[in-house]
Amino acid sequence: MAHEKNVLLRRKFDSMNLHEFQGKAILKKYGVAVQEGIVVDTIEAAVPAAQKLTEETGTSWYVVKAQIHAGGRGKGTVEETGSHGVVLAKGIDQVEEKVAGILGGHLTTLQTNGKGKKVNQVLIAQDVYYPGPTEVQEFYMSVLLDRESGRNVIIYSTEGGMDIEHVAEHTPEKLFKEHIDPRVGLQGFQARKIAFNLGLSGDAFKNMVKFVPCLYNAYVGIDASMFEINPLFKTSDNKIIAVDAKVSLDGNGLFRHPDLAALRDKSEEDPTEVEADEAGLNFVKLDGNVGCMVNGAGLAMSTLDVVNQVGGTAANFLDIGGGANADLMASALDVINSDKNVKSIFINIFGGITRGEEVAKGIVEAVKRVTLRAPIVIRLDGTNAEEGRKILAEAGIPDSQLTSRPTMLEAARAAVALAK
């Protein structure tokens, strides 16, 4: 169906993040050793999961890890209980209590922008920091796209387990980079150089040389824009394993991976953006109070500029795209209307393919359907604008709900004044 295709083409997916347990499952497929674990979403499932993990791995201690789309969980705090987001259970008898301290709570970390994220799932993982013949070591390793050089880059460091930005700032000499030409792929000598720079020898060296190409293949194979392992861990018996996994998938590659697209966790995203996405609309949430509905990305940018120019700030912008009909207009208004910060709505349409009378019919229908939280100011120009304005004028919508202005600047002024 033409309409469906149009909606798919306009789907907004800059990138999509995965949970730690999902990233680890991908790594395992590519032959990487990981800290094993079982994910649960109820307290009742915790102890049976821990028992199963002991059968599979022999572990007698467990690491309970909140699964949210943000790093720094170990140092983060659960609002309701004061627990950290990653905690150690020293025995099966502690598992239930540790899980209860995290699951269902709101976890705040340095990466959650001040607001706690609801923890819907926890990973019960094996303890891999057990004592043995050598010291354990925490490294850092990530693969990402270096746009400047047009190549992939492996960034790695002996200083793992901590904030990598801190390492970059205070001890930049401990951060290494290895560029990889995507046409040639990762070369054997590069993996050996990495293992050498990390100060490894013997079995640990050999295991690192095996680890690096598997991680690189995983990054390339799933069209990731970033695959970060922190800490990348050397056990006391010289195994090299991924203890954490942070993955961002390139939205433009997602159509090649329906299995990965299905892993999307909408509970981690802005609810208004999810709603817009489902309606096939491009919606971007911003910090101000003027809701903006426009057609086309270029007009979106100039609308934001004009709102700023007249002293206002946009709460969001919603791009209804090229071929808006009455239905799409109505759901677009629904989306803007569900944004609590919106104090006025600025509809700025320049009809090209989008026809003025369709826009007008959509608005009339939407105003009938929803209780608007804010007044609308509309500037309608371009194809069939005259007819559109006539429809709006004759619809009998009171001025307190909708007014029309002939130019973009005047409409912006009116919308900003209403928002104040």
Residues recognised as catalytic = 140, 228
CA pair distance 20, 39, nearest whole angstrom: 10
Reading the block at residue 171, the tokens are 């001890």
Under rule CB under 6 A, residue 124 binds ligand GDP? no
Under rule CB under 6 A, residue 116 binds ligand GDP? no
Among residues 18, 63, 89, 333, the one that binds ligand GDP under rule CB under 6 A: 63
Under rule CB under 5 A, residue 20 binds Mn ion? no
Residue 234 contact, options ligand GDP, Mn ion, none, Cβ 5-8 Å cut-off depending on partner type: none
Q: Taking a C-beta distance cutoff of 8 angstroms, is the pair 257, 221 a contact? A: no
Q: Taking a C-beta distance cutoff of 8 angstroms, is the pair 236, 130 a contact? A: yes
Under rule CB under 5 A, residue 142 binds Mn ion? no
CA pair distance 94, 320, nearest whole angstrom: 53
Cis previous bond, 133, omega within 30: no
Residue 382 contact, options ligand GDP, Mn ion, none, Cβ 5-8 Å cut-off depending on partner type: none
Residue nearest to Mn ion (CB): 244
CA pair distance 61, 58, nearest whole angstrom: 9
Separation of CA 394 from chain center: 44
Under rule CB under 6 A, residue 244 binds ligand GDP? yes
Shortest spacing between CB 74 and ligand GDP, in angstroms: 3
Q: Taking a C-beta distance cutoff of 8 angstroms, is the pair 343, 418 a contact? A: yes
Residue keyed to tokens 């983060």:
76
**5 contacts: CB under 8 Å, gap ≥ 6:** none
Give the contact letters, 16-35, x = binds to ligand GDP (CB under 6 A), - = no. Answer: -------------------x
Query: Residue 244 or residue 277: which is nearer to Mn ion going by CB?
Result: 244
CA pair distance 359, 384, nearest whole angstrom: 10
Query: Residue 126 or residue 289: which is nearer to ligand GDP going by CB?
Result: 126
Query: Residue 128 or residue 293: which is nearer to Mn ion going by CB?
Result: 128
Q: Where are the beta strands (DSSP E) in 361-404?
A: 376-382, 402-404
Q: Residue 312, Cβ neighbours under 10 Å: how many?
A: 25
Give the contact letters, 75-114, x = binds to ligand GDP (CB under 6 A), - = no. Answer: -----------x-x--------------------------
Q: Taking a C-beta distance cutoff of 8 angstroms, is the pair 277, 11 a contact? A: yes
Query: Residue 152 or residue 230: which is nearer to Mn ion going by CB?
Result: 230
Q: What's the chain's Rg over C-alpha atoms? A: 26
Shortest spacing between CB 244 and Mn ion, in angstroms: 3
Query: Residue 20 or residue 339: which is nearer to Mn ion going by CB?
Result: 20
Under rule CB under 6 A, residue 37 binds ligand GDP? no
Among residues 30, 129, 176, 205, the one that binds ligand GDP under rule CB under 6 A: 129
Residue 260 contact, options Mn ion, ligand GDP, none, Cβ 5-8 Å cut-off depending on partner type: none
Among residues 230, 282, 331, 384, the one that binds Mn ion under rule CB under 5 A: 230
Strands 246-250 vs 224-234: parallel, antiparallel or unpaired: antiparallel
User: By CB under 6 A, which span of 67-75, 193-201, 294-302, 312-320 interacts with ligand GDP?
Assistant: 67-75
Query: Residue 125 or residue 336: which is nearer to ligand GDP going by CB?
Result: 125
Nearest to 73 by CA among 244, 214, 276: 244
Under rule CB under 5 A, residue 244 binds Mn ion? yes
CA pair distance 206, 200, nearest whole angstrom: 9
Reading the block at residue 404, the tokens are 């029309």
Shortest spacing between CB 15 and Mn ion, in angstroms: 19
Q: Where do contacts with Mn ion occur on this chain (CB under 5 A)? A: 230, 244
Q: Where do contacts with ligand GDP occur on this chain (CB under 6 A)? A: 35, 63, 65, 71-74, 86, 88, 127-129, 161, 230-231, 243-244
